[in-house]
Every structure is written in structure tokens, then in C-alpha cells.
Structure 1
Amino acid sequence: MGGIGLGFLLAFTMITNKDAPITSSMIEDAASVIGLEFTQTERDTMIESLTDTRDDLQAIREFNLNNSIPPALNFNPIPAGKQFDFQQRSQVWDLPQNVTLPENKNDLAFYTIGELSYLIKEGKISSVELTEFFLDRIEQYDEQLEAIITVTRERAMERAQQMDAELEQGIYRGPLHGIPYGAKDLLAVEGYKTTWGAAPYKDQEIDETATVIRKLDEAGAVLIAKTTLGALAYGDIWFGGRTNNPWDLEQGSSGSSAGSAAGTAAGVFPFAIGTETLGSIVSPSTRNGTTGLRPTYGRVSRTGAMALSWTMDKIGPITRSVEDAALVFNAIYGSDGIDQTIVDLPFNYNANLDITQLKIGYLKSAFEQDYWNKQRDSLVLETMRDLGVELIPVELPDFDAGPLRLILTAEGAAAFDQLTLTNQDDSMQWQEPNAWPNTFRAAHFIPATEYINANRARYQLIQQMDSVMQQVDVYLSPAFGGGNLLITNLTGHPSVVLPNGFTDEGRPTSITFVGDLFDEATVLSVAKAYQDTTGHHLKHPPLFVE
């Protein structure tokens, strides 16, 4: 008889006459929607209580809660008894030296952050010149890509001039000094629209600047564009159209960090910021051939970012190399004193880490399955062995995580409750049964008790996943294999996704490296060792190479 909750109550409140008297038959019909059954006596006994609760629910709706207001309850991904290293040690980088300007200036489009950084620091190119170069590429190519919502030209040129002036005064902020970038348009930037990719919000301006943008400002980076995202962080369809894959313009870029990945791959900016709730860095990085870092949940502040799922949203860099991802992450991680989910732990990156001294695993059963990218993924394992790594077979917890997706659905529906209640969701472009408008409506029928129980089950999953991570420092997984994507997004583990080859049609494929909680440093070092050996990331979409 357990499980009565929010979904049950709303099942009979969302009727034509919301003030109609609650009857036993209404309760019976509502209970069947969520798979429950009550006796006639039980239903009759509930009527008075449910009438009072319906009034309370309506009162809560009238709070008109803004998307920026988080729940009072914070998700904790840390397993019971987990210990961490709190000592910040000297970081070791692999920054290039003696970089020269290319004979063909267009080659700058695919220089790494490290290479561009050297050119700026040594005065071989100014931030203003570099910013104008990438702004010109946006103007030249975005009609094909549809990767940009807003060009922040005025802000960009002002910042670039400031970075050049500081450099003349001997002030150098670090490797991101003067480097242009793009940011997913769910991050607020004062003075510019923040559309969340969705028609109901296409003219929205938020009077603040997201912490991630502020941290990148402090590091000297230059925001030149706000990039597309599938509406409300789902897919690659936004209010202006569809973002396209630069390797095949007839195909969508995937999402939801659509423009961030497509634009980085096409060389319209050196790097971009994306977000992931359930695949929104991994999927577009795979499709577009970029390198994406999905940090640990609680690593990067989400202040000023659109909320989709308060317990699953994560912010991370999309770049063209692992080293670049590490450089950007180094600038954006850490507390801002506002996002209460942030855990302050060091980032001890070592580009020269001896990975043969690590315990590196692979999801044995996932790699042994018959799937479309098996050949390229198997070559990754061979490459790791050639690097001297003794791969350890591991398996994910024997846990049916699929039903826990309702956590994301329920939180998303709460985050956009006003969108549903005011029927503004009707103006969204994508209206399929599995699109957000219908998903959010249906989520109102998820019982509160089952949402809580799903998170209790998630607690069990976290403990079981920690048992896996006690066997290894890092493990490899097919990008979408073995339930890894869902499980690690639920548990909050960091991952690096990077190219591992190309299909016969010339489209990129990817592999995923997963690390322990708050240990982005180790998983980045291992992924870098693989990437440096293979060089798949050095190939760029032919349509955008001049």
C-alpha cells in the first residue's frame, strides 16, 4: 500500500475543474496511473486529507519559484568512509615551446590552447588579432554550423584589448590569457541574452554573470560567443534550427552541448564550455570528434547556470586535446561561496605521470559485446597495453539503474514547473512524446515517495560503485556501453571522452576514460597518454580547413 505521494495527488488535481470535490472514484483512477490499489474504505478515508493537500500544492505553485532557486536538500556523491588527498602539489604541464606563426594564418583555427598561449605570451600575436580572427570564422562558417546563438563581440573586443594592455605592463594571467572561447547559452552573462536554447526564453536577460564565466574572465580568457544547445539542454534542436556536425552537415551535432562541440571541432573557437546531466558532453564530443571533460559532481560551481537536474548537472570544458581540457578545468573548478554542493579539493595534474604505476581497468563484458564500434575500441585496449599498462578486467555494479532516470525527470519538471503551468511549453519547437514538454507534464505524476526512494537506491549504487573504484584508479569504457553513461552520471564520477578513430564515412568515434571522484587529474593524465600516442585529435573536419 506504500508509495502514495506527489504523483498520486497531482493525478487528480490536473483536471478541468481543479476545485472539483475529490471522490473515491477519482482516487481509484489516479491510483491506477501510478500502479497502486486501495480499498474503498481506504479511498474514502483519504478524501479529507487529500483535499487539504491539494490546497497546499496549489499554494506551493503560487510561489512562482525561479529556475535559479535550488532545493534545500543537497545531493552528496561521496561514499561513506571515502578519504581524499587535501594537499595541493605542484602541477606539471606539457605546454609547447618555440611555437611559430603558421604560413597560412587559417591554420591558427586548430592550434591548441597551449600553442596560442605561447604566441600571445611571446608577443607573436595579440589577443585582439586572435579574437578578430575567430570572430571572422564565426561569421564565415556559422551559417553552415548553426552553432552560435549570440556573438559577444563588444565584450570580447573590450576584454581582448585589456589582456593586451596587461601583457604590455608585464601582467600575465596564465595559459588562458587572451584566448577566445565559446560558452553554452545556459550560462548567464550580464548584458546579453541567455536563451537556454528554447523559444519561451529567447529574449531572456539575466542580470548576473555565471561563476564559470567570471572564473574564466579572471584567468584572462575572452568570451566571443554564446553557443547553441538543444532546447532546455536536450538534443541539438534549438529555437533557431538544428546545430550540425562539421564532419557531415547533413547530420545533427548531437547535444545538448551542441554548439560548444561543433564550434570547437570546426575551429570557430579554441575551446568551449559545455554541461552534462546525462550525456550532454559525452555525446556531442563523440559526434564532433572533440575532447570533453565531464568533471565530478560538486567540482565546478553552477551559479548562474540553468538548472535541469540539481543532483546531476555538471559543467566542463570541450576542447581539441586532453591537455587543453586540463588547462580550462584548472581555471573553473573550486568553490564560489554560493553553490553549496561544491567540495574544495586540490587538482594535482601531472602531464608526465607514469601511468604504468596505476591500476587501470576496462569494462570487460562491455568490450566483449558485439557492437558497432568494437573494432576501434579494441584497438584502444591494445594501445594501452603497448604503453605498458596491465589492464584489469572490471565490471560495473549489478544494478538496474534505468528506473533512476526518474530523478532527472522529476527535478527537470520541478525546475520548469512554471513553464508547464503557464502552457508556455507549447511554443517549444520539439513536441515529440519524448521531448521535454510532454516529459515534464508526465513527471507531475511521479510520486514524491518514489522520487525519495529512487535517491535511496542511488545511495546504494554509490556505495557499490565505490567498491569498483577501489579496484582501479581509472577504467576504460565504450562511450555508450554497459550502462556506464547513466551509472556514472548518477554517481557523479568524472570522465574524459576523446576520439579513437573514424568510421568509413569519415565520422569520428570515441572512447571514454572514467576516474574516481574528485580525481580529474589522474583520469586526464591517462587519457592524455593514450591521445598523445594515437593522434586522432589532430584530424579536423575538411569543410572547415582552408
Structure 2
Amino acid sequence: MAYFSTLGLSSTLLPGALWAKIQEEKKLRITKETIQCAEQIAGLQFTEAERELMVDGVNELLSNYEKLRAVHLENSVPPALQFNPIVPGMTFSRRRRPFRMSKVNVPDVPSRREELAFWPVVHLSRLIRSRKVSSVELTEMYLDRLKRYDPQLQCVVTLTEELAMQQARRADEELARGRYRGPLHGIPWGAKDLLATKGYRTTWGAMPYKDQVIDEDATVVRRLEQAGAVLVAKLTLGALAWGDVWFGGKTKNPWNPKQGSSGSSAGPGAATAAGLVGFSIGSETWGSIISPSTRCGVTGLRPTFGRVSRYGAMALSWSMDKLGPMCRSVEDCAVVFNAIYGPDGKDLTVVDLPFNWDPRLDVRQLRIGYLKSEFERDRKDEEWKAHDQATLETLRRMGLKLIPIELPDYPIEALSFILNAEAAAAFDELTRSNRDDLLVRQVKNAWPNVFRQSRTIPAVEYIQANRVRTLVMRAMAEMMSQVDVYVAPSFGGHNLLLTNLTGHPAVVLPNGFRKDGTPTSITFIGRLYGEAELLAVAKAYQDATDFHLKHPPLTS
């Protein structure tokens, strides 16, 4: 690969076949024969005369690629092209309304403080504001649990104990002076370790970066600090945001420690489910909030693309990456999202649109769709299918009239290489330096191999795939004009990839438990920037059930 790089072949139109041919001929120059070999990737067949015309230009391109590679590119440098999920004709309300929270009856403070570990943020915040419990007490309790259960769950990269105690003491002191920052004041939380945090490692879960320190705070980290939240840990992620295997081991599912937590927001899923943090922040490109939330039985919000700044977060796919909260209740997700959304002037994909959360919204006035064919489709996991059918019945008993819908009919899986091409660019230097050999997972379906494969993706095909993506976005806009929210099996058909490509928001939450005690989930999808209505529907369903109130039986 190092030799490949010096030639500049990895960025040509037909890179893989060109490289193979040159390797065979041991030449440093593109010839008509190498072009002929490469034509197979593009699905083209040139004439001998056409190849003759191409040779000088292709060799000139190689020189240009080599010059560009001399320019150092940090992972944080985005492409000049920006993805925008909005299609022509869409309009959005810009009217801002006050953020409201539900009126809840908070139970009495337990004499044993550790019983607070699984309480939702909306309850903990009231205890802190009334000074029945201090932030220092909560922080010490969660730090103790992190230390006690991490050897079993392997969900922590770095404890931020010194920072946490400093922030907790400040939260208590401010409250004593009459300053209350809001519902996250004094609440301990955990960050997926792809968020930069000043003074601490940001490892991206990967051996080549295990000692990396980025000397600034990601926007989300800074905004949560401004909201008064207390950072207690940098939590695990599958290496470079894939899966649940990181350089320190495999993060476990608290419901079944013989099973991985899924990923890539592995640590946030496991730690939130196990009551080791008040809430956490995860990220999703293609399932990395939905999947671990499902496996670990927590509630996750994947916001609309361009809602939350990714400044200071590891880039994997500039057109698909999203940051969102992973919590123990839907309303907790609303509270956390309210603190982190909106423009920061650094991530230019972020829009300035309101989030008008109101838990009093009558969801019976909304149009609710369901993916009819996916609910009817046969599945290997019959228990999960039964839970999904029961979810539909619950929604109907709540007075919701469900509208059958179907997803746009396009080759969605064929578009997945958009992510791979962007990821290979984001980690170009890792591949060229051969430090990808340091990653723990070295199998067919792991980043080292996918990064290498992605060097064969022609630029033209990447652009064409994004043009098809535009058609999918238009078709989704038409479909979503019929409904405000729709419900779907969490991994039904192409819904997960499709909505990550179109940028639509999703809420995932538990909808039952199998006989072996592990949770299942259901997913609600909303309109672009329609998180308020989406969360309201998910909350109404969650309030009608009690699955989110169950907790894993941990043994230290």
C-alpha cells in the first residue's frame, strides 16, 4: 500500500485495477494496457485509440494527486461540499416557544443513595434543584459504580474523576448562591470517546490513537458544561466507530455479559443501561445509536442531520455523522437535546431551527404511519416480532389511527459505499502509513479491509450514488407529507440505512423482553427537524408501557 500511495493511484478514476496491473508489470507509469485492465471497474470499454488519448492525461493526474498528498489533512478538516437533507419545496417554522417539562411526582429520596443510579434525569434534576441531593453525592455514587462495574462491562476508556468532582462542587456552590443552570445542572454524564475533551485522551476506541490528546472541548462537551452537567467518564466505542470491540477489549451487554453491547456507541449504551451515568452522548452514522440502545435497553435519539454540531467529534462520514443523547427515558432525551442542538459557527451543516418541546402535545392529533410490510414480514426472532405487533396494538389503544405506508423503492443497500468512501478519506493517512495494522479487528468486515476496498470506488460512482440519494430524499419528502411520524421495526428492511442517508430523526426505545431476559426495541421516525413531535409520540408510547423501568441484574 505504501508503494501504491507514492504512485498516486488510489485516487484515480479506476484505481484498483490500475494498481493491480502496474504491480504485475512493475512499472511506474500508467499505460494503455493498465487502462484497459481498469475499465472493468467502471463498466466501460474504450477503444485502442481512446486509450491512447487518455494515457498522458492519466499520468498527469497521478502527479497532481501526489502534490495534494503533500498537504497534511487532519481528520477534522471537512470537504468543501456539504450535505443538506432539505429538498426544494420544504418549509419549516421558525417560531420559538418556551421549553416545557412534564409535571412529575418525584419519589422520596432513598436512604441508600445508590438507589438513585437508575433514576431518570427529569427526577434527579428536581432532587438537585431542591437540594435534597447534591451533585457531589450523585457524582461520587456514579464514579463508584463506574469503578465497580467497568471490569465486567468494559465500557470505560477514561474516568474524568478530577474534572467531575470539580464540576460537581461548582454546581453545588452555584446552587447555594441561587444560580440554577437548568435541568442538567449537576447531572453526571458520559461521553462517547470520539468527543474531544480538554486535558483527557480522546482515543476514538482505536489502538493507533490510544494516547491522542486533543487540547479543546467538542461543542457538545462545552454546551453540556455550560448547562451544568458533570462529565464523569469517556466511554468506549468500537474502534473508529464500528462495533463494540475497542483497543481495551469488548464492551458487554449489562443484560447478558456474555454478549457484546453492540455499537458503535457501545460504552454509552452499556453505562446508561447499567446505571453508571445519568445519561450519555453517542453518535450514529449507520445504526450506532439505534443498535446499542436496542441491545442495552435504553432510549436513544438520533437527531436530524445538521441539528447538533459535530465540531470536536471524530469524523467518519461527513454527510451522515450525527450526535445524540442516550438516556433512560424519552423526556431525558428531550432535555439533553435541548442543551446541545443549534449552530455554533464551526460545523456549517447545522441549521438554526427551533426545538419546541411540549410534553402536553396531544399526539392523537398527529398523523402516525407504520411500515406495513415490515411488520408483516416473517422474521427469525419471533419474540421480537410479537413485541412489535404488540406495540401497534398499544398505539391503537392509545387512540392513534395508524396509516399504512411503504418506503421508497430504490436500491438502498447499494448506496452504502457512500459511507465507506468518506470513511476511507477520513482515515487516508492511517491506511497509507500502514498503521491500520494496529487496529484490533483485522477481518473482512472491519475498517482496515473496508478502507482498502474503498480505494477502488471511482469518484464518478460516488457522485452518481449521491444523485440517486437525492431521488431517495425527494421520495421520502413525498412519503412524509402524508404522516408526521411513523413507527418501524428497528431493523426492518432498509429503513435504518435509508433514514441515515436522508437525515431523518429517529427515537429508539425498549418494547419488550425475550424469555432470556434481553430487551427488544421499536423505532419511531420523524420529519426533518421534527424532533419535538417525534419525541412526543415516543413519550406517549413509553408512558403507556413500563419496559424502560426495568434494569439489568448486575453483579460486581
Q: How far 1:95 sits from its partner (Å)?
A: 4.5
Which among 174, 178, 182 is matched to residue 170 of structure 1?
178
Which among 302, 309, 314 is matched to residue 301 of structure 1?
309
2:6 corresponds to which residue?
A: none
2:332 corresponds to which residue?
A: 324
1:404 corresponds to which residue?
A: 415
1:388 corresponds to which residue?
A: 399
SS at match of 1:543: coil
1:446 corresponds to which residue?
A: 457
Q: How far 1:18 sits from its partner (Å)?
A: 8.8
1:369 corresponds to which residue?
A: 377
1:12 corresponds to which residue?
A: 18
Which among 148, 157, 173 is matched to residue 165 of structure 2?
157
SS at match of 2:158: strand
1:456 corresponds to which residue?
A: 467
Matched, 1:82 2:93: no
Measure, in 2, the Cα distance between the counterparts of 1:514 and 1:504.
28
Q: How far 1:53 sits from its partner (Å)?
A: 0.4
8 Å CA contact 2:15, 2:455 repeated in 1: no
Matched, 1:541 2:552: yes
Letter of the 2:139 counterpart: T
Letter of the 1:503 counterpart: R
Moved more, 241-250 or 16-25: 16-25
Which among 412, 425, 441 is matched to residue 436 of structure 2?
425
Which among 185, 203, 206 is matched to residue 198 of structure 1?
206
8 Å CA contact 1:34, 1:445 repeated in 2: no
1:503 corresponds to which residue?
A: 514
2:80 corresponds to which residue?
A: 72
Moved more, 70-79 or 7-16: 7-16
Measure, in 1, the Cα distance between the counterparts of 2:346 and 2:134.
35
SS at match of 2:520: strand
Structure 1 gap segments, 5+ residues each: none
2:215 corresponds to which residue?
A: 207
Measure, in 1, the Cα distance between the counterparts of 2:105 and 2:361.
20
Measure, in 2, the Cα distance between the counterparts of 1:244 and 1:353.
37
Q: 1:240-294 deviations in whole A, cap 9, x for unaligned?
A: 0100000000000000000000000000001100000000000000000000000
Letter of the 1:6 counterpart: T
Letter of the 1:75 counterpart: F
2:482 corresponds to which residue?
A: 471
Letter of the 1:508 counterpart: P
Measure, in 1, the Cα distance between the counterparts of 2:416 and 2:27.
32
Which among 312, 323, 328 is matched to residue 320 of structure 2?
312
SS at match of 1:376: helix
SS at match of 2:345: coil
Measure, in 1, the Cα distance between the counterparts of 2:226 and 2:129.
17
Which among 61, 75, 78 is matched to residue 53 of structure 1?
61
Q: How far 1:32 sits from its partner (Å)?
A: 2.2
Q: 1:65-93 deviations in whole A, cap 9, x for unaligned?
A: 11000001110100111010100112331
Q: 1:159-191 deviations in whole A, cap 9, x for unaligned?
A: 111111100000000000000000000000011
Q: 1:195-254 deviations in whole A, cap 9, x for unaligned?
A: 000000000011111000000001000000000000000000000010000000000000
SS at match of 1:335: coil
2:4 corresponds to which residue?
A: none
8 Å CA contact 1:99, 1:118 repeated in 2: no
Question: Runs ≥4 in structure 1, deviation > 6 angstroms?
Answer: none
Q: How far 1:44 sits from its partner (Å)?
A: 2.0
2:501 corresponds to which residue?
A: 490
1:512 corresponds to which residue?
A: 523
Q: 1:340-359 deviations in whole A, cap 9, x for unaligned?
A: 00011000111121111110
8 Å CA contact 1:99, 1:119 repeated in 2: no
Measure, in 2, the Cα distance between the counterparts of 1:18 and 1:100.
77
Measure, in 1, the Cα distance between the counterparts of 2:525 and 2:327.
17
The two structures, once aligned, show a CA RMSD in angstroms of: 1.5
Q: 1:130-151 deviations in whole A, cap 9, x for unaligned?
A: 1010000001000000000000
Moved more, 4-13 or 366-375: 4-13
Matches within 5 A, 1:140-155: 140-155=148-163
Matches within 5 A, 1:253-332: 253-332=261-340
8 Å CA contact 1:237, 1:243 repeated in 2: yes
1:359 corresponds to which residue?
A: 367
Letter of the 1:537 counterpart: H
Measure, in 2, the Cα distance between the counterparts of 1:384 and 1:422.
53
8 Å CA contact 1:95, 1:114 repeated in 2: no
SS at match of 1:144: helix
Identity %: 57
Matched, 1:226 2:234: yes
- In structure 2, the CA distance between the partners of 1:155 and 1:437, relative to structure 1 (3 Å rule), is same
SS at match of 1:362: strand
Measure, in 2, the Cα distance between the counterparts of 1:32 and 1:457.
22
Measure, in 1, the Cα distance between the counterparts of 2:483 and 2:360.
19
Q: TM-score, normalised by structure 2?
A: 0.95
Task: Tell me the number of residue pairs that the alignment of Structure 1 and Structure 2 aligns.
Answer: 542
Measure, in 2, the Cα distance between the counterparts of 1:5 and 1:226.
35
Measure, in 2, the Cα distance between the counterparts of 1:483 and 1:37.
33
Q: 1:367-420 deviations in whole A, cap 9, x for unaligned?
A: 111122211000000000000001000111111111111110000000000000
Which among 511, 517, 539 is matched to residue 528 of structure 1?
539
Q: How far 1:482 sits from its partner (Å)?
A: 2.2
Letter of the 1:394 counterpart: I
Letter of the 1:139 counterpart: K
Measure, in 2, the Cα distance between the counterparts of 1:298 and 1:515.
15
Measure, in 2, the Cα distance between the counterparts of 1:508 and 1:104.
27
8 Å CA contact 1:407, 1:455 repeated in 2: yes
Q: How far 1:512 sits from its partner (Å)?
A: 0.2
8 Å CA contact 1:9, 1:54 repeated in 2: no
Q: TM-score, normalised by structure 1?
A: 0.97
8 Å CA contact 1:228, 1:258 repeated in 2: yes
Measure, in 2, the Cα distance between the counterparts of 1:337 and 1:509.
39
Moved more, 366-375 or 243-252: 366-375
Measure, in 2, the Cα distance between the counterparts of 1:369 and 1:255.
25
- In structure 2, the CA distance between the partners of 1:18 and 1:216, relative to structure 1 (3 Å rule), is farther
Q: How far 1:34 sits from its partner (Å)?
A: 4.2
